[in-house]
Amino acid sequence: MSADTRLRRPEPGLAPSERRAATGPRPTSARTRVRRGLGLAPIAWAAIGLYLIFLIYPILRSIMTSFTDRNPLQLESSFVGFDNYTEMFNDPNLHRSLVFTLVVVVFVTVISNAFGILFAILLNKTTTNFRIMRTLVFIPQVLSGVIVAFIWRSILTQDGLLNSSLAGMGLIDSPISWIGTPELATMSICIVVSWVTIAFTTVVYTASLQAVPAELYEAARMDGANAFKRFHHVTFPMIAPGMTICVVLCMITTFKLYDIIAVLTGGGPAGSTESAAFYLVNVAFTSNRFGYSSAISILLLVMTALVAYGVTAILRRREAQL
């Protein structure tokens, strides 16, 4: 609005910034820079306002709620200090969910980066065949976690397609409970999540590989470096920035994992595949313990932040050394 009126303002009432600009380029001082783009302030602050309401305020609100015994079934909630936080130390369900989360995070990060690099090297050609393959490999990323989990559930359930195929080939006598026993269910979640993240890491690593100049390999070959040495001294350092992104994104995605668990195992059997993120939603919406759930969410937030900043810092330093 104000921007329009300024446009129509009659001469000689040029705005100071415009007059200054009209006299030719000048070194931008902090003062003149501040005035620029202010016509957009209403839209910019509308965006910031929504962001404050729907992201920043909820975080602060979670912190406050975590010190209360808030429960939607009671009208009043009272301040309980650090009770919710001390309860976390003694909650075996939470401990189990944290261990499970950690197992999945480590497994998924290691497997999807290792396979991502392998796939990227295998598919790093520019011919049509390889382009088609790269397009296909990314598909697990395009489908929603719910669909991915339903596909895998139809394969992995007791009377699912994997067991019926294995039985058909005479490899097993009785069906294996892929998502019905705690260890196998954990393994299944790890594999399904990795399957999705490999799709992502493969494409990012291929992009990193294509940025490696071919001369580097030529030079290494001239120097008599074998395939392993070429990987170790040329490929690996060159894909380090891609690796930082892949490792951090794999970890963050796995920390907030919800839909695949909800569909594939529902957190079972006996809560063995409840991740921390899954557990806190259950505590909030099934047990109605908003206070305790908020405390767990703050723990999750701190863990994610530490991992995101810590791992990024470590990997960036490594990038610089390579």
Partner 1 sequence: MRYTTRSRLFSKGSHLALAWLVTLAFILPIYIAFSSAFKTQEQILSSPLSPPIPFTFDNIIDALQRPDNLIQAGLMNSVLVTALTVGALIPLASALSFYISQRTPKVKAILLGVVALGLMVPPQVVLLPIVELLQAVGLANSYAGLILSNIGGGYLSFAVFVYVGFLRSVPQEVIEAARVDGASDLRIWWKIVMPLVRPATATVGIFLGLWVWNDFLNPLFILGPLQGQTITTGIYISLGQYSTNYAQLFGIMFLAAIVPLIGYLVSQREFIHGLMSGASK
- Residues in region 8-67 near partner 1 by CB under 8 A: 14, 17-18, 21-22, 25, 30, 33-34, 36-41, 43-44, 46-48, 50-59, 61-62, 65
Stretch that binds partner 1, among 102-110, 178-186, 288-296, 314-322 (CB under 8 A): 288-296
Candidates 73-81, 181-189, 215-223, 294-302 — which segment interacts with partner 1 by CB under 8 A?
294-302
Q: Which residues pair with 68 in a beta bridge?
A: 79
Q: Contact letters (x/-) for partner 1, 190-229, by CB under 8 A?
A: -----x--x-x--xx--xx--x------------------
Identify which of 272, 294, 273 has the alpha carbon closest to the alpha carbon of residue 283: 294
Size of residue set near partner 1 by CB under 8 A:
102
Minimum CB distance to partner 1, residue 160 (Å) = 9
For residue 220, the minimal CB distance to partner 1 (Å) is 18
**Least distance in angstroms from the C-beta of 58 to partner 1:** 4
Binding mask 151-190 for partner 1 (x = CB under 8 A): xxxxx-x-x-x--xx--x----------------------
CA 307 to the chain's CA centroid = 11
Q: What interhelical angle do 182-210 and 240-255 show, nearest 10?
A: 150
293 binds partner 1 (CB under 8 A): yes
Quote the tokens at residue 116.
């991502």
Q: Which is nearer to partner 1, 33 or 232 (CB)?
A: 33
Nearer to partner 1, 67 or 255 (CB): 255
Q: Does 287 bind partner 1 (CB under 8 A)?
A: no
290 binds partner 1 (CB under 8 A): yes
Least Å distance between CB 268 and partner 1? Answer: 14
Task: Name the one range near partner 1 by CB under 8 A: 85-93, 178-186, 215-223, 255-263.
Answer: 255-263
Separation CA 81–CA 72 (nearest Å): 19
Would you say 48 and 283 are in contact if contact means Cβ atoms under 8 Å apart? no
E-assigned strand segments in the chain:
none
Residues 80-139 contacting partner 1, CB under 8 A: 119, 122-123, 125, 129-130, 133-139
> Which one of 84-92, 227-235, 238-246, 314-322 is the stretch in contact with partner 1 (CB under 8 A)?
238-246
Distance of alpha carbon 80 from alpha carbon 87, whole angstroms? 11
User: Cα separation of 314 and 248, whole Å?
Assistant: 11
138 versus 184: smaller Cβ distance to partner 1: 138
For residue 187, the minimal CB distance to partner 1 (Å) is 16
Contact 175, 158 (CB under 8 A): yes
